[in-house]
Amino acid sequence: MTTLKAILWDVDGTLAETERDGHRIAFNQAFEAMGLLWRWDEAYYGHLLNITGGRERLRADMAQRPDAPPTAAERDALVEELHRRKTAIYTTLVRETGIPLRPGVRELIDEARDAGLRQAVTTTTSRANVDALLGLHFGPGWREVFEVAVCGEDVAKKKPDPEVFLRALQALDLNPLQAVAIEDSPGGVAAALAAEVPVVVPRSAYFANATIEGAIAIGPGLHTREGWRPALAGSTGGPVTLDDLQAWHQEMDSVSQFG
């Protein structure tokens, strides 16, 4: 039986509902700041989330806009400027509005830290975005909580490519089955599974009904013990605990690809 030694945390949608409450708003403010009449409503942004990466979403959106720049070079230049402005707006928005962690997240992070489990960030969002969110909630010393942080600038290919997980595992010097990834999206789950890392999925607002296969557990959020598959044993009150995570990890042979 493999012992669980690390938790690999996705950021957007997993640690906090940053997609809905942060990134989308920041993109719209960047459009406005540049005099563009483009706006991404909640439904359309949910559609764009099937594409990983802010720049990649901008390029996909421009590809079907008649008022987008006509040449690839002009579009690339606009993407870079929009993304630069959006990142600046987003980091300010996080600090000023205090986007909260999802319920149950802080409790599990603290419990894992107290138990001596190693923790890492495995995301394809930018390092500035990660620093803004984690700095808000854990202070400037957030690296003492998450000893490894693999961000968008650190990889050549973004999720669903497994590179982000392979780099994190290498930095932690662990094999995949010694870790559990916590992800909310199909792309994130696919990336973890491609790296052979078991995945737990607390569903997020944008992926509440997405088809997700191969996870060792899937449920409505870390704040509740109700509604998880496989069902949690013991008391029905309170959040998901480290014991629950370890139990799912031990049972992974029977519920996923890890048999």
- How is the chain split into domains, by residue range? 6-17+101-255, 19-97
Confidence band of 259 (pLDDT split at 50, 70, 90) = very low
pLDDT, mean of residues 202-218: 96
What is 19-97's CATH topology? DNA polymerase; domain 1 (1.10.150)
Confidence band of 21 (pLDDT split at 50, 70, 90) = confident
pLDDT at 170: 98
pLDDT at 237: 81
Task: Report the C-alpha gap between 214 and 143 in whole angstroms.
Answer: 30
Active site residue: 10, 61, 161, 184, which one? Answer: 10
Q: Assess contact for 183 and 189: CB atoms under 8 A.
A: yes
Q: Buried b / exposed e across 222-250, counting CB within 10 Å, b at 16+?
A: bbbbeebeeebeeeeeebbbbebbbbbbe
Q: What is the CATH number of domain 6-17+101-255?
A: 3.40.50.1000
Confidence band of 255 (pLDDT split at 50, 70, 90) = very low
pLDDT in tens, 144-174: 999 999 999 999 999 999 999 999 999 999 9
Amino acid at the residue 109: I
pLDDT in tens, 83-105: 999 999 999 999 999 999 999 99
Helices (H), the chain: 18, 24-33, 42-48, 54-62, 72-97, 105-114, 127-138, 163-172, 186-194, 242-250, 252-255
Does pLDDT of 211 surpass 50? yes
pTM value is 0.93
12 catalytic, yes or no? yes
Strands 118-122 and 199-202: unpaired
pLDDT, mean of residues 11-28: 95
The mean pLDDT value of the chain amounts to 94
pLDDT at 236: 73
pLDDT in tens, 42-70: 999 999 999 989 999 999 999 999 999 99
Does pLDDT of 256 surpass 80? no
Task: Report the C-alpha gap between 185 and 141 in whole angstroms.
Answer: 28
Same fold, 6-17+101-255 and 19-97: no
Give the count of alpha carbons within 13 A of 54, CB side only.
31
184 catalytic, yes or no? no
